[in-house]
Amino acid sequence: MKRFDMRIGFGLILIVAGIMFMLQNLGIFFGGVSLLWAILFGVAGSAFLNVYASNRENWWALIPGTILAAIGLHIAVDAVLPFVGQYLGGAIILAGIALSFWMIYFTRRDFWWAIIPAGILSSVAFVEILDNVFPRVDMGGFVVVGIGLTFLLLGVLPGYENQLRWAFIPGGIMTLIGILTMPIMETIFAVIWPLALIGAGGYVIYKNFKN
């Protein structure tokens, strides 16, 4: 039965490939080769996800499964919606890798370490989109904030009591550094420092007249 199912899947891939090549040769549709690659990556990813679905102990299969599926989705978006793909960039693949680690954690709650790559990659994927939408804005601070928030999340995970409290230290430091290095902070400091000098000068004058 499994061999028969594999033959059906392989046959369907050949049929879809033939239809795409025919439409492309007739000038009706372009990008058939890219979509074929997208389907192949999607099928490969589904195979790994099926390994996990058949046995939940095979959590490792979530990583190649989601990565391959994300690569297929990335190729498909670039082929069908190139305008959207221009803004997403590699965020789809990064989000796919992050999703695999999120799934690992929610599948195995004792694998707290999966939160770290999941949070960091999610932050990088989010910043990738922002960087494509606002190319002239420096987004480095957002990445650092995302890493800091990841460690802060690690520190408040339920079920670990005080075992992961150490994560508050790097989380707090990196979040603060990220906030201070954001572009908007330059504008804020440009206003705060003059106001601080004005306030200090006013206080000195006030104390002088009061005495």
Q: Tell me: the pLDDT tens digits for 34-64?
A: 777 888 888 888 889 989 988 888 999 999 9
Q: How confident is the model at residue 81 (pLDDT cuts 50, 70, 90)?
A: confident
* 55 in any annotated domain: yes
**Which residue range is the domain that position 50 belongs to?**
1-98
* 203 in any annotated domain: no
Q: What are phi and psi of 121, to 5 degrees?
A: -70, -35
Token pair belonging to 41: 């990556």
* Residue 134: strand, helix, or coil: coil
Tell me the pTM: 0.73
* 43 in any annotated domain: yes
Domain count, the chain: 1
* 3 in any annotated domain: yes
Indicate whether 191 pLDDT > 70.
no
Measured distance between the N- and C-terminal CA atoms of the chain, rounded to whole angstroms: 97
Amino acid at 67: I
The reported pLDDT for the residue numbered 204 is 74
pLDDT, one tens digit per residue, over 137-176 is: 777 788 899 999 999 999 888 877 678 889 999 999 999 9
Indicate whether 22 pLDDT > 60.
yes
* 163 in any annotated domain: no
The CA–CA distances, whole Å, from 164 to 107, 114, 153, 157 equal 19, 13, 10, 8
Q: How confident is the model at residue 119 (pLDDT cuts 50, 70, 90)?
A: very high
* 33 in any annotated domain: yes
* 78 in any annotated domain: yes
* 52 in any annotated domain: yes
